[in-house]
Structures are given as structure tokens and as C-alpha cells.
Structure 1
Amino acid sequence: MTSPADQVKAIALESETTAETPMPATATPTRPNKSVPVAVRHSPDDVAAIEKLAGKLNVPTSSLIRGWIQQGLTAEREGTLESAVDRIAADVQRLREIVA
């Protein structure tokens, strides 16, 4: 069995040796999991508060908003008591980081 480190080395070597080889004419490039931009409207005060919080957390504003959306979607999908407790624990931790 090959170790993950050996697999990475083999893939890197293959990449380096074939870097100058042209792509086959039949190859079609793909971009799996490409994100789609979405525009939303917020009041200037909300945007300022979001930007301030993002700065305090040292994350890009878009990443903070994306995280909130993903949390909301996850909460909607996982309606169990255990997932609710996990969300509350994560929220408490996030609040501790903000207050610190």
C-alpha cells in the first residue's frame, strides 16, 4: 500500500513531466463545484456592522456572509436536537471569540 506522501510525490512528478505536453484535442476542461455569485441588498448600517465584525474576526466580509448562509442551510437540513445543540455550542464559541 502506498502512503499518502508517496501518492502526492507521484502525482507531482507526473505533473512536472507532462507540464509541456499539450492537452488532447478531445479533452474538455471542467470546473467542478464552481461557486455562483449572488447579490443581496443591505442597509449601509448593516454592511458597516458586517465589515466591522469581519475585520474583528480577521476574515473577508464575503467569507463571513458565506459562512452564515452555510450555517443556515445546514440548520435547515439537520433538524435534530443534537445538531441544534452543536449549533448553539458553535455560536457560543463564536461569541467568545468576538467578545475576547
Structure 2
Amino acid sequence: MAWMAWTVPTAIFFCVIALALLTFTVLAIRYPETPRLGVLRIETTRGDRLFITLLGSAFINLAWLGTMSDPQWWALILCLVYATAVFRWV
């Protein structure tokens, strides 16, 4: 892995994504679910909501980097609020 310049935040990011995928795989095996209708009126499963959360969080962070001079921690807090809303209502 010496070919890639790993930093602690990068390693943490990829570990969190890997753990989320592993957790959702175990949940899908142990507790199968049927898709549910949310506020957007589309059927989503846990995996769909995880994907929507990751995609939206990426856009939130990119927009934050491009428009704000405040620390990135505020964008991460906003992403947690967004993730909570997606898993609750979408």
C-alpha cells in the first residue's frame, strides 16, 4: 500500500465506509426487509438509503469546500443531520 499516500483521515473514511457496508450486509442477512415508501414516494431499502446518504454527503462536503471558509467539521455535522433525515423519512 506504499503507492498511495494514506493519511489518518483517509484511512478513517475508508474504514467507516467498509464497516457500514459490512453492518448493512449483516443486517440484510439477519433481518430481511421489504422496501418502504418514504417522503419521496419511492420504495427504498436500507442499502438504498445508505447510498443516498453517501452521495448527498459527498455533495454537501464539496459544496462546503467551494463556498465556505469555516472548518470542515461543520459540514460533517450537517452530513450527520442529513443522514438522520434520510434514514428517518426517505
> Normalised by the size of structure 2, how large is the TM-score?
0.30
Report the structure, 1 or 2, having the larger helix content: 2
Q: Looking at CA atoms only, which structure, 1 or 2, has the larger radius of gyration? A: 1
Report the structure, 1 or 2, having the larger strand content: 2
Higher RCO, Cα 8 Å, sep 6+: 2
